[in-house]
Copies of this chain bind each other. A is one copy, B any other.
Amino acid sequence: MNEQIRLDFQRPERLDFDEAILCARKSDPQLTVIMDRVLAHGARCLMTRLEPDVFARMAPTYRERLDYDPVSRTAYLNWTPPAELELPRIAVVSAGSSDMPQAAEVTRTLTYLGAATKQFIDVGVAGLWRLLESVDELRTFPVIVAVAGMDGALPSVLGGLVPGVIICLPTSTGYGVSNGGETALHAALASCAPGLAVVNIDNGYGAACAAFRALNMIRRAAAAPNG
């Protein structure tokens, strides 16, 4: 049935960013068909949830066209990031080093979309001083992605301290009642800090897109201040 797969090459015209390929639950032949179609189109593509063993099984002809990162499990097909990026306008803040894969998925996706990021790591609330040291700098970012698992208290604290757009990315880090990320998700949604916006558990790609939507509108406003 693979010949029936239809890609959405018109998405950039509608949304200002292009479709990514979620590799999870796709078979090897399905991925091959998709990559062939992208290459035939002369297009580029972001692939997410590409597990190292799936990448390793690909034919060399594909692997050499892919810029693969095993931490974030993302690949750029037919594209490499430029050496120079603009000054970062999006901060990616994470509570612990266990949240690195999700934080890296955010950063890699934003790089692909053309938005530079700065990472703030290990600023969880159990060691509050590490977060407080960074508050003044964080207040200068118009968009922040807050990555947190377990009890998910980081977004609540951030939300009372900085004025920018805050996208909360709960992660599935943890065990017992926090297993699967539901506690972090619910804590971000129930936060008494006003104006937090939340994406699905472990959805680094979605958090990056939400952050990009905001940055995109900010850029438009800067380009056409009276628009």
Contacts and interface: CB of A to CB of B under 8 A. Distances in A.
Interface of A: 1-2, 4-8, 10-11, 14-17, 20, 22, 24-27, 30, 34, 71, 95-98, 100, 103-104, 119, 121-122, 124-130, 142-143, 150-153, 156-157, 159-167, 172-203, 205-206, 209-210, 212-214, 216-223, 225-227
Contact of A159 (B126, B164, B183): B126
B189 A187 contact: no
B25 A98 contact: yes
Contact of A15 (B163, B179, B200, B210): B163
Contact of A16 (B5, B163, B200, B209): B163
A153 B195 contact: no
A15 B218 CA distance: 18
The 3 closest A-B pairs by CB, nearest first: A195-B209, A176-B201, A197-B197
Nearest to A121: B4
**Oligomeric state, in number of copies?**
8
B156 A177 contact: no
B216 A218 contact: no
Given A176-B201, A178-B186, A122 B221 contact: no
A177 B183 contact: no
Given A127-B8, A142-B217, A143-B217, A189 B180 contact: no
Given A126-B157, A163-B213, A177-B189, 11 more contacts: A1-B104, A4-B122, A15-B195, A25-B173, A27-B71, A125-B160, A151-B186, A152-B153, A175-B202, A177-B190, A217-B218
7 contacts: A1-B104, A6-B130, A15-B160, A143-B217, A151-B188, A152-B187, A195-B209
Contact of A176 (B150, B190, B220): B190
A191 B126 contact: yes
Nearest to A95: B192
A179 B188 CA distance: 14
Contacts of A177: 182, 185-186, 189-190, 200-201
B152 A121 contact: no
Contacts of A199: 189, 196-198
